[in-house]
Amino acid sequence: MADNSFPDAVPSDALEAARNASNTEKLTDQVMQNPQVLAALQERLDNVSHTPSSYIETLPKAVKRRINALKQLQVKCAHIEAKFYEEVHDLERKYAALYQPLFDKRREFITGDVEPTDAESEWHSENEEEDKLAGDVTSKVVIAEKEVVPAEEPNPKGIPEFWFTIFRNVDMLSEVQEYDEPILKHLQDIKVKFSDPGQPMSFVLEFHFEPNDYFTNPVLTKTYKMKSEPDKADPFSFEGPEIVDCDGCVIDWKKGKNVTVKTIKKKQKHKGRGTVRTITKQVPNDSFFNFFSPLKASGDGESLDEDSEFTLASDFEIGHFFRERIVPRAVLYFTGEAIEDDDNFEEGEEGEEEELEGDEEGEDEDDAEANPKVQFLSANHSYVSR
């Protein structure tokens, strides 16, 4: 007997789903036939497939295990590198002792305590011929004007305002204020002292002043503490010794001479009586001598705010600049020759950076401001802010 019954009715939701699937399939076919869409999709897939992390994820467990072993070796390499830089620091200490007699003689010439001999003062400059020619012309003019009597050339003691001139020449020392200048004119020498063997890695900047009307300290000091060991949380970031903190010193200011504070007057109104009185109070003042009262790097796990991090990073860079550039090459910063060399080097660096993409440059700047440490690459006397 034939079955004349009708099949159950198809639900409307099922019909709608079938129509949507059909439309989606048609739309997909149309999209996949578009060359531009295919090219963009392929480029995206290529980028995803070629990232290092995505590639590592595709490797078998046995290969990943061997990669982990390589990372263990890399950590051991970082610890060996740290020891290398400790020995470099010892070598710097050794050669600092060889430089010091020359720096002591430099101070004697600057202060005028010793006069250089003719042999010591002989120097052939690149512009010697031009200077000679100019001198010959001047001589001829004097001979022509027989009545002109040359004025006696002044002969001040030593080299006046030697270190103060360096401060004026170096842009990095822009914190020097007008009221700092009379004090810095009494600066006679800057020395770098390295930590003793077996002691934690550090260096001290010593600023030697002649007796003056501002403070009684003959020497102001700034100690920069360093470390040369990989970070336990991120050992692969190790690139050499880094400044991690610094200590200043107490300046024994004479009465009324402290340029790091200023006195202001402030009016106060009594809540009850309504009377007004004027009080005076001291507030911090911008000055180079705040250099000897530095911020402390946070050691209690609390992070510094952005302004404090920037201030600390700048402090570390200035300390390094004194240590590596200004003290060893003082005369060239006095004459400006070292500044011209630095400017030329910076221009070359900027030219190379132009080839980088903007996003990457921005990321590097953010990284530099986020961490106030200064990384030393002592072997070639360079540094990077981290």
Contact in structure between 108 and 186 (CB atoms under 8 Å) = no
Quickly tell me which residue has 């900027």 as its tokens.
350
**pLDDT of amino acid 119:** 94
Does 43 fall in a domain?
A: no
Q: How far apart are the first and last CA of the chain?
A: 90
Tens digits of residue pLDDT in 252-271: 999 999 999 998 877 777 77
**pLDDT of amino acid 117:** 95
* Res. 129 pLDDT band, cuts 50 70 90: low
Side chain identity, residue 360: E
The more confident residue out of 269 and 142 is 269
DSSP for 52-120, written as a single string: HHHHHHTS-HHHHHHHHHHHHHHHHHHHHHHHHHHHHHHHHHHHHHHHHHHHHHHHHHHHTSSPPPHHH
DSSP for 16-30, written as a single string: HHHHHHHHHHHHHHH
CA dist., res. 324 & res. 378, Å (int) = 9
The more confident residue out of 349 and 302 is 302
Q: At what angle do helices 12-32 and 35-49 cross, to 10 degrees?
A: 90
Q: At what angle do helices 306-321 and 358-370 cross, to 10 degrees?
A: 90
Does 142 fall in a domain?
A: no
Does 27 fall in a domain?
A: no
DSSP for 285-303, written as a single string: ---GGGGGSPPPPP-SSPP
Q: Where are the beta strands (DSSP E) in 163-201?
A: 187-194
- Provide the 3-class DSSP secondary structure of residue 374: strand
Q: Is the pTM of this model over 0.85?
A: no
**pLDDT of amino acid 170:** 93
The mean pLDDT of 34-39, rounded to a whole number, is 70
Q: Is 62 exposed, middle or buried (0-12, 13-18, 19+ CB in 10 A)?
A: exposed
**pLDDT of amino acid 23:** 65
* pLDDT higher than 60, residue 97: yes
- Provide the 3-class DSSP secondary structure of residue 124: coil
Does 317 fall in a domain?
A: yes
Does 135 fall in a domain?
A: no
Does 102 fall in a domain?
A: yes
Full domain range(s) for residue 163: 61-119+157-385
- Tally of structural domains, the chain: 1
* Res. 138 pLDDT band, cuts 50 70 90: low
Q: Which of 93, 294, 322 has its CA nearest to residue 189?
A: 322
What mean pLDDT value characterizes the chain? 79
Does 56 fall in a domain?
A: no
**Domain of 196: which CATH number?**
3.30.1120.90
Does 336 fall in a domain?
A: yes
CA dist., res. 188 & res. 163, Å (int) = 7
The more confident residue out of 269 and 375 is 269
133 to each of 127, 136, 138, 383, how far by Cα in Å?
A: 10, 5, 9, 43
CA dist., res. 73 & res. 90, Å (int) = 26
Backbone torsion region of residue 81, taken as left when φ is above 0, otherwise alpha when ψ lies between -120 and 50, otherwise beta: alpha
